[in-house]
Amino acid sequence: MNRPRTSVRAEAARALAPVLQGQASLNTTLPAALAALPSRDHGLLQALCYGTLRHGPRLQSVLEQLLKRPLPASEAPVHAALLLGIYQINEMRVPDHAAVTETVQAVRLLGRPRLTGMVNGVLRNFSRDSKTLLNRATQDPAGEHAHPRWLIESLQQDWPQEYTQILAANNQPGPMTLRINGRRTTREAWLTRAREAGIEATPAQSPDMAVKLASAMDVNALPGFTEGEVSVQDAAAQWAALLLVVEPGMRVLDACAAPGGKTGHLLERAPDGTEVLALDADAARLARVEDNLQRLGLPAQLTCGDLAQPQDWWDDRPFDRILLDAPCSGTGVIRRHPDIKYLRRASDIPALAARQAELLAAAWSLLAPGGQLLYATCSIFHAENREIIEAFLAEHSEASSLTLPETLGQACGPGRQILPGEQDMDGFFYALLRRSSA
């Protein structure tokens, strides 16, 4: 059976349309687009999708100047194709005429031949007057910073001195960072193997087993990946296992564990025989934890359940250490997931904060006297971080916050905040709490 004719730009538009409407994440739409194209086109497809989303609010401001009236929601793929065309002309090394021609062809392949003339005219007008149109776009904060207005205002409120730096960091793709498995090899030994394989890699500034690649690559081409010697994990996320120190004989809970990067790192660093329970409410995502642990060759008890409903899964034995990587807005990882600019709303934050407070209270009830709980998010909003911990400490006299390394981001209430781009890391918040022994 012959596959219907398509193109990289047509598939990119199909993948982007529901994301731009705030209806789906790129992670859910991209696989179908990749499957429709030969592998040689996968890199271009991803570059088009991620780049268009990264610059999307600015591109949208330009497009609004070029259209006589907004396109109806039913023409979302054409709207996406227009943004793709503007992105190619302005940001990629694609000749203007080629960008126009290929985008027009994509619209035809999307089944909208009647709109090809409009698309051709809009993109040619942008090509002729791009400087003026972009200057007008940057008069508005959303166009200037390529972020939705609510997000700019929220960051300005929480980080008045740093918000422009945060916005700029969000618009740059993050590096591919790896974690070396100290049970299998050393960072120096792995770097030597990488150089021998022609891979340019350097030690990250921190933490101790992090490695940064000069350019992204297929994980299966990494020396030792299939043998569990190395995993992909941002350096900020690698701090979790360093901060939650596990001693022999301890029982550890990794709550909200999927996809398992932190679970694996905890096990890599924990003494042999440590009992680790990896919990997640999503059975499909929990399967990814199992896959990751099988590759690492490390054992853990995997349990599907809601942390806030421990009566459904807990055996009444308290934990000595708990990692709560709470579901959050993801505003610290926009550079890796630019679709967050479209998927999040200001109204989401109070609901997320309420859920985080609920999960923290539930996790605390499972912690043994003298035990420690590490609260973590990849958010940079105070409402999801310092305010959660401050309110919790005010309500729990048996809880105290422990000091975290001063080299880790900056002080943020009882915890530490890493801002996006600091030491080339993602944005992350950590707070370490101890339950009194009495």
Rounded to an integer, what distance in angstroms lies between the CA atom of residue 209 and that of residue 18? 38
83 phi and psi angles, rounded to 5 deg: -65, -40
User: Measured between alpha carbons, how far is 230 from 217 in angstroms, rounded to an integer?
Assistant: 13
Both structure tokens of 14? 């199909």
- As a whole number of angstroms, the distance between CA 9 and CA 109 comes to 9
Is the bond preceding residue 141 a cis peptide, omega within 30 degrees? no
Residue 106 · residue 81 · CB < 8 Å: yes
What amino acid is encoded at 102 in this protein?
E
CB 89 within 8 A of CB 130: yes
Report the DSSP beta bridge partners of residue 277.
253, 301
Q: With H, G, I as helix, E, B as strand and everything else as coil, classify residue 148.
A: coil
| Residue 378 falls in the annotated catalytic set | yes
CA–CA dist 137, 159 (Å, integer): 24
- Assigned token pair, 408: 């880790």
CB atoms under 10 Å from CB of 290, counted, come to 15
Spot the catalytic one: 49, 256, 328, 378.
Answer: 378
Cα distances (angstroms) measured from residue 216 to each of 161, 173, 199, 213: 32, 11, 10, 7
| Distance between CA atoms of residues 342 and 215, nearest Å | 27
* Angstrom distance (rounded) from CA 85 to CA 107: 11
- Asked if residue 80 lies in contact with residue 87, where contact means CB atoms within 8 angstroms, the answer is no
Give the catalytic positions in this structure: 378
